[in-house]
Amino acid sequence: MLHVLMLRGFTLPGTILAEPIVTNYLCVGIAVLASSVIYGLGRDVAQARQMGSYRLSERLGRGGMGEVWKADHMLLARTAAIKLIRTDLDGGITPAHLERFEREVQATAGLRSPHTIDVYDFGLTSDGTFYYVMELLDGLDLENLVRMNGPLPPGRVVHILRQVCHSLAEAHQVGMVHRDIKPANIFICRYGRDLDFVKLLDFGLVKQARGTDAGDVALTQDGSFTGTPAYASPEMAGGDVDQVDATSDIYSLGCVAFWLLTGRTVFEASTTVQMLMKHHGEVPEAPSGFTEREVDSEIDHLILECLEKKSRDRVPSALVLDARLREIATTNTWSPDEAGRWWDQHRPERNETESSPDLPPTVDEVIVTKAR
């Protein structure tokens, strides 16, 4: 339209002629600025989702000090799980948090039992986030296993406990005490062709057994309880840190066995203090009294022996416990066929409608947030 008017002799004010030019330059400027912002946001988001050679894809869970994410290796066709220290802890991340986190990965990486979670890598991001990469397991922890499916048959309980003993025996042999044995830290999974394969997780509270490294005790001598009250040994419940040794893990594993057989904890209490007091001073009852399943007297006796108040009266080691369980397994069996049928019927499937990936924001989400 403009060139037609000019050919006919019309003249236009300079301001009118300048408007299209200014508008064009303004649009170009905005486009360049928007591109740089989007590029920068995209780069920041990519970095936020990347840990070393792995890219975060989905948050799987979070605990007292860490988060676990599903992640994909950017070069290898391998999916893994990444645990990292949460950045929203009350009071921020302290040197004690970092020391505990580093201790966990170093302790776990040094163990070779097939029933201990396998660690692939460890690192520190540019923003100071500690993380480690471990194998991603196909299954569920024993806490959810019982909550979703009820108490387990004795033969399956024996099968699970023996595998935990394998992991603990190695840890105890090198002077480590796990200190947080509980159903949520024991994972049962499909592992290659194996079913009901057990992995022991979370060595975050690991310490050297008494008499091996007194310096390790300092991390928890702050007057607070560290661990899980429902599965705490009497010496942990009473704050006798120096008395914690391998038999403390045996006690906690007895509590796990009780949970698997009955679907309830050894003691029930309304507060943490009450729970700790019961573990410290109250005599437990046999698990057979809390389940409709038939539980052999040998299993009752063995679990109660694990739950003795004095460490010297308990089953002395994971190796001895495994040997005792092996004898019981001759009459309390759990066959591969039984395991196969269970996994065919109950294999946990991820429900996309109940859990959406909790990811760092996408570029579009960041832009929308900034605009608001």
Measured CA to CA, the distance from residue 99 to residue 102 in angstroms comes to: 5
- Outline where DSSP puts E strands in 74-175: 79-85, 119-124, 130-135, 138-141
Measured CA to CA, the distance from residue 254 to residue 244 in angstroms comes to: 16
Contacts of 77 (CB under 8 A, 6+ apart): none
CB-based burial, 182-217: b 16+ in 10 Å, e otherwise? bbbbbbbbebeeebbbbbbbbbbbbbbbbeeeeebe
CA atoms in the 13 A half-sphere facing the CB of 175? 8
Known active-site residue 180: yes
Tell me the three state secondary structure of residue 49.
Answer: coil
Pairing of strands 79-85, 119-124: unpaired
Side by side, the strands of the sheet bearing 186-191 are 138-141, 186-191, 194-200
| Number of other residues whose CB lies within 10 A of the CB of residue 176 | 23
| Active-site hit among 180, 196, 216, 249 | 180
- Outline where DSSP puts E strands in 125-172: 130-135, 138-141
What is the torsional sign of CA 82, 170, 260, 272? negative
**Kind and range of the H or E run holding 72:** strand 66-73
For 123, the token pair is 């690192």
Dmax over CA atoms of the chain, in Å, equals 112
Q: Which of 361, 364, 358 is nearest to 45 (CA)?
A: 361
So which residues are the catalytic ones? 180
